[in-house]
Structures are given as structure tokens and as C-alpha cells.
Amino acid sequence: MRHSLDEERAALRARLGSGARYDAPMAPAEDLILARRGTAYFARKLNELADSDLDAPSLASGWSRRHVVAYIGYHARALTRLADWGRTGVETPMHASTEERDAEIDLGATLPAQALRHLYTHSAVHLNVVWRDLEDAQWDAIVRTLDGSAIRLRELPLLRAREIWHSAFELGNGGAVWDLPPQLRTS
């Protein structure tokens, strides 16, 4: 029997109790699901790779698989900074510049394999915790992306979903376009 998302949430809250963290009622639930499923999919594709496989080229032009992993880890950190900005009102840009972002990715790609894997895991968990702690009104806070575009925090999960699903495909180890959720195949 298939349950609705609201029924599944209620069952989860009953199992976990009052001490657990939950998304705010007005959080963008469907987009958060896409991002969280993408996080799990990326982790699966990453875990299928041996450490030595990380040195191989990715499907992203000019990048190794290490670059893709570093990019997606630092992307989560950048979105966390935006979420903190929206939560606190203290301007915290994603990056100071595209050059800084690119240098960060290049440096991250040189990390030992275990450290690179930890970067991905820790940054994904941190972003999820920050999202869980946002209150309803904070999801409508306006921040600016690296290119200067003004967006609401509620747009971040879909932005993350697009990046993480496509980056999983770019690892080039068996991910297929049809693995992407239908709403992300053309984005």
C-alpha cells in the first residue's frame, strides 16, 4: 500500500519522537526530496569507485572524477553559506569570485581520496542539517548567487538537486540519463 507524503511524515515523526529535527511545514518538500535522493544516488556512484578510479577523467570536460567530487562537496558548502545568510540576515556569499571557486575545486581535487570522500559526506550532511533547521519564514529570505541573481532560499534545494544528479552522471561510472528524475532530465 502506498502512503501519501504527509502520512509518511507523520509515521516518521511517530517513530523518531520529539527530539528529532524535521523540515518546516512550508519548506519546499518535493525539491528537498529530489536533492536528498540525488545525494544518496551520488554517494552510491561515488562508493562504487575505488580510490584509484578517482584519478580518471570524468564526463565533465577538463575535469577528473576528483574535480567532480570536490565541486559537489564545495557546492554544498556554498549553499550552506547562502542558507546561513537567509537564516541570520548576515550576508554570506557563496564565494568571493568565480576564480576563488575554481581555485577551491582545483585544490580540493588534490586531497587524498579519503579526505575527498569525507568532504562530500560532511558537506552533504551539514547542508541537510541547515535546511532542517530553517523556519517557515526563512525559506522566503532572498540571497544572491555567485552570478548576482537574487533567489529565495526555497530555490536552493532544486538548485542542489540539479547539480548533484548531473554531477553523479558526470562521474562517468555507469550513471545514465534515465536515472535522473524526469523533471531534471532537461535542466
For the stretch 57-66, contacts whose Cβ atoms lie closer than 8 Å and that sit 24 or more positions apart, written own/partner, are: 57/172, 58/170, 58/171, 58/172, 59/169, 59/170, 59/171, 59/172, 60/167, 60/170, 63/109, 63/170, 64/109, 65/171, 65/172, 65/173, 66/108, 66/109, 66/110, 66/111, 66/116
- Give the pLDDT confidence of 98-108 residue by residue, as tens digits: 999 999 999 99
Q: Which residue has the cell 500500500?
A: 1
User: Which residues in the chain show pLDDT less than 50?
Assistant: 187
| Model pLDDT, residue 168 | 96
Say how far apart CA 39 and CA 72 lie, in whole Å. Answer: 10
Q: Using the 8-state DSSP alphabet, how is residue 27 labeled?
A: S
Say how far apart CA 111 and CA 25 lie, in whole Å. Answer: 39
Main-chain dihedrals φ then ψ at residue 142, nearest 5 degrees: -105, 130
- Cell for 179? 536515472
| Model pLDDT, residue 1 | 64
CATH number for the region 58-187 comes to: 1.20.120.450
Say how far apart CA 167 and CA 173 lie, in whole Å. Answer: 11
Give the start-to-end residue ranges of the domains of the chain: 58-187
Max intra-chain CA distance, the chain: 51
- Give the pLDDT confidence of 35-76 residue by residue, as tens digits: 999 999 999 999 999 999 999 999 999 999 999 999 999 999
| Model pLDDT, residue 138 | 97
